[in-house]
Amino acid sequence: MPDSGASATLDWKVEPVVDWLVHEGRLIADPGRLVEELANRMVAAGAPLLRFTIGLQAIHPQWRSFAIQWRRGEKVQLGGRPHGIETTSAYIGSPMQELAETRRPVRYRLDGLTENHHEVLHEIAAAGGTDYYAAPMRVAYGRSPALTFTTDRPDGFSEADLAKFHRLMDYLAPVFESRINQRLATTLLDTYLGRIVGEQIMGGLIKRGDGREINAVLWFSDLRDFTGLNERMASGDLIELLNNYLQLVGDALTKHGGEILKFIGDGVMAYFPAEDALFLPMVTANALGAARQLIDDIGAANEARAAGGHEPLRFGIGLHIGPVTFGNVGTEDRLDFTVIGPAVNRAARLESLTKETGVPVLASAEFKDATTQPMVSMGKHTLRGVPEPVEVFTLP
């Protein structure tokens, strides 16, 4: 049996760990580093730990929960568990399901497992574990985090060990509750507003009228005949189609450094920050790279749609560059973080013009002048709200 590093210490003091957590540990912002330092200090105090994990329930579009795992002698591991895992064998019958359903501590001696025990227990036992203990950590809001403790001490945990774990959890709960709330706020802002806007708001840009002027490449895109699709398709099928399309738009923008500012039905309003004029050729090239990727991806999607007897998707993109005001507008208690200014209107008008010209991408003369990428003139056209005809450009 592997040596736990503390097998000769049948008793240990939790007070030094609590003292560190209250005065220093609570100031560690990174949850992974906090867990690593906490586990190492428990072991240094004599706790017989082989493995220690904290599982946090998530409000996230991709993940149901996050787990932070410490194992003696290894680097801390962080990982997400996707939505739907609760219907898989990884969860069904596991100690985590038992803990979630009973909301009471769960304990298993790992040297007497049978084939009826969950595979995760067998995996921990195969790694040298002898005793496994899991308990919920009480918090004021949200679902309780789950903590697990595993030892490789031959006689397992003592009742005194478990009591000390619970005492430590009482001090750990408010620290991790603050981390949970921080992660929740950040996740919601990133999900609904985007990373850059989320950082602005978390940084205090939250009053009506707060904002700043930036230079940016503006992107407007939308699907053609979305109204007709609404009439012809069942709502569930339409939602699936729209999500698949918007995923392709988002993938193309993210890969090339763009950020979605908002969805407007089937439309996407996005931008590429371009505050330093020296980087304009690179930023405009990124915007064109995103447009080309979307053209290719929609083309591949349309081949699959044709094979299934479905009509092709068509779309338009308008690209412009210029100064915009980046900030909050709205009522005193209901705000929208957006970009406004003539440059925004010009990008939207260019997108609308793609319907008339029959090309998927149109860019302004200002955009063309700022890029080193080849573009082809489509002549001068009148944009709604713009007094004089303007020359517009498309991809070669």
More confident residue, 282 or 323: 282
What is the rounded distance in angstroms from the CA atom of residue 60 to the CA atom of residue 83?
9
pLDDT of res. 1: 38
What is the rounded distance in angstroms from the CA atom of residue 324 to the CA atom of residue 138?
47
- Please compute the mean of the pLDDT values over residues 202-228 and round it to a whole number: 79
Crossing angle of helices 15-23 and 31-45, in 10° steps, is: 150
Domains belonging to the chain, first-starting first, are 15-193 (3.30.450.40), 207-394 (3.30.70.1230)
Q: Is 16 helix (H, G, I), strand (E, B) or coil?
A: helix
- SS3 of 323-381: the string is EEEEEEEECCCCEEEEEECHHHHHHHHHHHHHHHHCCCEEEEHHHHHHCCCCCEEEEEE
- Please compute the mean of the pLDDT values over residues 197-220 and round it to a whole number: 74
pLDDT higher than threshold 50 for residue 4? no
Q: Is 385 helix (H, G, I), strand (E, B) or coil?
A: coil
Do residues 194 and 272 touch, judged by C-beta distance below 8 A? no
pLDDT of res. 29: 82
Round the average pLDDT of the chain to a whole number and report it: 86
What is the rounded distance in angstroms from the CA atom of residue 61 to the CA atom of residue 396?
38
Do residues 378 and 385 touch, judged by C-beta distance below 8 A? no
Contacts of 190 (CB under 8 A, 6+ apart): 198
Tell me 309's DSSP state.
Answer: T
What is the rounded distance in angstroms from the CA atom of residue 315 to the CA atom of residue 359?
9
Q: Tell me the pLDDT tens digit for each residue of 244-268.
A: 999 999 999 999 999 898 888 889 9
Q: Is 241 helix (H, G, I), strand (E, B) or coil?
A: helix
What is the rounded distance in angstroms from the CA atom of residue 21 to the CA atom of residue 37?
10
pLDDT of res. 7: 41
Q: Tell me the pLDDT tens digit for each residue of 91-104.
A: 888 998 888 888 89
- SS3 of 164-189: the string is HHHHHHHHHHHHHHHHHHHHHHHHHH
Q: Tell me the pLDDT tens digit for each residue of 345-391.
A: 899 999 999 999 999 999 999 999 999 999 999 999 988 888 889 99
Contacts of 226 (CB under 8 A, 6+ apart): 265, 266
Tell me 233's DSSP state.
Answer: S
Give the predicted TM-score (pTM) of the model. Answer: 0.65
pLDDT of res. 337: 74
Share of the chain above pLDDT 90, in %: 49
What is the rounded distance in angstroms from the CA atom of residue 42 to the CA atom of residue 280?
53
Do residues 262 and 269 touch, judged by C-beta distance below 8 A? yes
Which amino acid type is present at position 317? I
> For the chain, first and last CA: distance in Å?
69
Instruction: Read off the tokens for 61.
Output: 């579009």
pLDDT of res. 324: 84
pLDDT of res. 367: 95
What is the rounded distance in angstroms from the CA atom of residue 162 to the CA atom of residue 11?
11
